[in-house]
Structure 1
Amino acid sequence: MGEARPAGAPTVLRVVLGKRLHDLREAAGLSFQEAGRALDVTHATIRRMEKAEVGLKVPYVEKLLRIYGVDDPAEVEAFLALTREANRPGWWHRFRDVLPEWFSAFVSLEGEANLIRAYEPHYVPGLLQTEDYARAVLRAGQPHAPEAEIERAVAVRRERQHLLTREKPPLLWVVMDETVLRRPIGGPEVMRAQIARLIEVTSLPHVRLQIIPFAAGPHPAMYGPFHIFRFPIEELPDIAYAENLIGASYFDQRDDVSAFLEALDRLCAQAAPAHTTKAFLGGIRKEI
């Protein structure tokens, strides 16, 4: 009995195609079991294909499309072309030696989103870090890692940052605690350069940066950092991402994501307005 083999972290396109297969199966009135029997695989394989937990084999997809009643040759070929593209590894694949599997999915979401919102209470987000700041953060988190491994991880951050300078960059909206700016990471020179970088990005039309000062008091997102991704793709819902010491969680259920969105909206209202951020950063830089 043939089985689709497990794949690495899914690309966003693979997630989209999985959702399309799900919709086509339901429109055809077939269960997981019926689709699996037609393909000579288990019902669990069909479920995993739809959830993008395994790669999409082109012969399997082609047969499923016929089973689901998709008989237009042009439509079938277009779907198969997307399947082949979805199976190509992302750029981050070459960094799999230093990139955890759970974070590879984050990089894929980040690269396809047209809106990235984030709350960060501890560090400057990776997309806005200087190399020296990134190096210091990584060394603090991985004190026993070889120097070459740290440099590979810095290279990943450098690659990720290219999305801010591409032709159609996403809107990046970040709220940071004042703690991020007060925590000395890498020494005064590194911090001054990092704050200078933040001042620089405040002038970009697709970057919105807000600081929540100590004086603002408690707020609804104090439990930890998180990201929310929104996509220009109808099949993809908003996705929230929360990281912890040994991994991360992804949320795509409406109620779960709404909780993150509500907390972030309240936090943005409580933080200093974005137009004051440059002056706020300049004041802190002078103090260092």
Structure 2
Amino acid sequence: MPPSTSPTLRQRRLGSELRKLRQQAGLTATAAAALLGVNQAQISSIEAGRYPVSADRVRSFARSYDCADEALVDALAAMTGGRTRGWWDEYRELPLPDGFNDMAELEHHARGLRAALAIHIPALLQTTDYARALFQEIVPPLRQYEVEHRVSHRMKRQAVLHRNTPMPYTVTIHEAALRMGFGGPAVTRAQLRHLLEMSELPNVTLHAIPFGQLAFPGSGQSMDYIMGPVPRLDTVQLDTNHGSEFLDDEEVLSTYRILLDYVEKGSLPPPESRDLLHRLAREI
């Protein structure tokens, strides 16, 4: 296969993990190339995610790098090949912000998801009207067809919660997000009712943090934690003013796991969280 000029996040992650294995083995790119019978430029392209590799090649790399972690090697081998073809490819003709399709692909392959939000309802639990209201608040304003394009993409992402093997999803939402009122009272009321319906799904665990219950860590920054096939391949996604930021350093992942544990422990349990949602829906 020819090199890719625009590798996906998943392809770049495979390359970066192979680079980590090489560095842990104490090998330079030149030494690794000689050991594997390829040139250094090919090693660099593979590690940048620009050059696809086969599962057999990944296993060959792992053997050469003395990696004995079979679960990790199997997970890396499953990430091989070219760009994953999925429903999100339909959205490449009309460009979306960086991270939209990467997030969709990560969720598609994830073994579980966790999230904590202080300002917005999480994307996977938004109604169409709520999502539309959010996109209509973007500055500078989007054209209406751009708004609808993003709304459609967001709704399709939610399929991971409804497939034959539904995605386990644990989400913690601050009361501030539940009261923000995007789209007006009718939209907010329908959104709260939708949260109640979704919280009844066996794969969805919803926690709420009422005012006064807990100081929300991280200055209220929204965070998504995407669980890979092994913990080393987990990913954290943060919403920032300049778009999505994806983090995969092992120490960073450990910090966010602890942070999410803290947030979930300090939140209301699911039954009391639903009671809060019912009360807020009646007040609006």
Residue in structure 2 matching 1:131, options 128, 131, 151: 128
Match of 1:150 in 2: 147
Q: Is the 8 A contact 1:242 1:248 kept in 2?
A: yes
Give a deviation string over 1:22-43, Cα, whole Å, max 9, x none: 75x689986412445743452x
Structure 2 distance, partners of 1:185, 1:257, is 31
The answer as to 2:264 corresponding to 1:268 is yes
Please state how far the C-alpha of 1:274 moved relative to its aligned partner: 1.3
The answer as to 2:98 corresponding to 1:101 is yes
Please state how far the C-alpha of 1:123 moved relative to its aligned partner: 0.7
Q: Which moved more, 1:219-228 or 1:266-275?
A: 219-228
Please state how far the C-alpha of 1:95 moved relative to its aligned partner: 1.2
Q: Is the 8 A contact 1:133 1:191 kept in 2?
A: yes
Q: Is the 8 A contact 2:239 2:245 kept in 1?
A: yes
Match of 1:8 in 2: 7
Structure 1 distance, partners of 2:282, 2:264, is 25
Give a deviation string over 1:86-126, Cα, whole Å, max 9, x none: 43433212213242233322222111112111111111111
SS at match of 2:148: helix
Match of 1:73 in 2: none
The answer as to 2:209 corresponding to 1:219 is no
Structure 1 distance, partners of 2:257, 2:59, is 37
Q: Cα gap change, 1:173/1:119 in structure 2, threshold over 3 Å: closer, same or farther?
A: same
Residue in structure 2 matching 1:33, options 13, 30, 34: 30
Residue in structure 1 matching 2:138, options 137, 141, 148: 141
The answer as to 2:275 corresponding to 1:286 is no
Match of 1:237 in 2: 233
SS at match of 1:229: strand
Please state how far the C-alpha of 1:20 moved relative to its aligned partner: 6.0
Q: Is the 8 A contact 1:32 1:46 kept in 2?
A: yes
Q: Which structure 2 residues correspond to residues 197-212 of structure 1 after superposition, within 5 A?
A: 197-212=194-209
The answer as to 2:182 corresponding to 1:189 is no
Q: Cα gap change, 1:219/1:184 in structure 2, threshold over 3 Å: closer, same or farther?
A: closer
Structure 2 distance, partners of 1:152, 1:198, is 23
Match of 1:122 in 2: 119
SS at match of 1:228: strand
Q: Is the 8 A contact 2:172 2:264 kept in 1?
A: yes
Please state how far the C-alpha of 1:15 moved relative to its aligned partner: 3.9
Please state how far the C-alpha of 1:199 moved relative to its aligned partner: 0.5
Q: Which moved more, 1:87-96 or 1:151-160?
A: 87-96
Please state how far the C-alpha of 1:259 moved relative to its aligned partner: 1.4
Please state how far the C-alpha of 1:268 moved relative to its aligned partner: 1.1
Identity among equivalent pairs (%) = 27
Q: Cα gap change, 1:63/1:262 in structure 2, threshold over 3 Å: closer, same or farther?
A: closer
Match of 1:74 in 2: none
TM-score by length of 2: 0.81
Structure 1 distance, partners of 2:33, 2:97, is 31
Structure 2 distance, partners of 1:269, 1:82, is 34
The answer as to 2:230 corresponding to 1:246 is no
Flag structure 1 segments of 5+ consecutive residues without an equivalent.
Answer: 70-78
Please state how far the C-alpha of 1:51 moved relative to its aligned partner: 5.0
Please state how far the C-alpha of 1:249 moved relative to its aligned partner: 2.3
Flag structure 2 segments of 5+ consecutive residues without an equivalent.
Answer: 65-75
Match of 1:113 in 2: 110
Q: Is the 8 A contact 2:98 2:244 kept in 1?
A: no
SS at match of 1:214: coil
Match of 2:157 in 1: 160
What one-letter code is carried by the residue in structure 1 that aligns with 2:210? P
Q: Cα gap change, 1:28/1:283 in structure 2, threshold over 3 Å: closer, same or farther?
A: closer
Match of 2:255 in 1: 259
TM-score by length of 1: 0.80
Please state how far the C-alpha of 1:129 moved relative to its aligned partner: 0.5
Please state how far the C-alpha of 1:145 moved relative to its aligned partner: 1.2
Structure 2 distance, partners of 1:95, 1:247, is 18
What one-letter code is carried by the residue in structure 1 that aligns with 2:43? I
Q: Which stretches of structure 1, 4 residues or more, deviate above 3 A after TM superposition? A: 14-23, 25-31, 34-41, 61-66, 79-84
Please state how far the C-alpha of 1:206 moved relative to its aligned partner: 0.4
Q: Which moved more, 1:135-144 or 1:113-122?
A: 135-144
Structure 2 distance, partners of 1:215, 1:175, is 15
What one-letter code is carried by the residue in structure 2 that aligns with 1:91? W
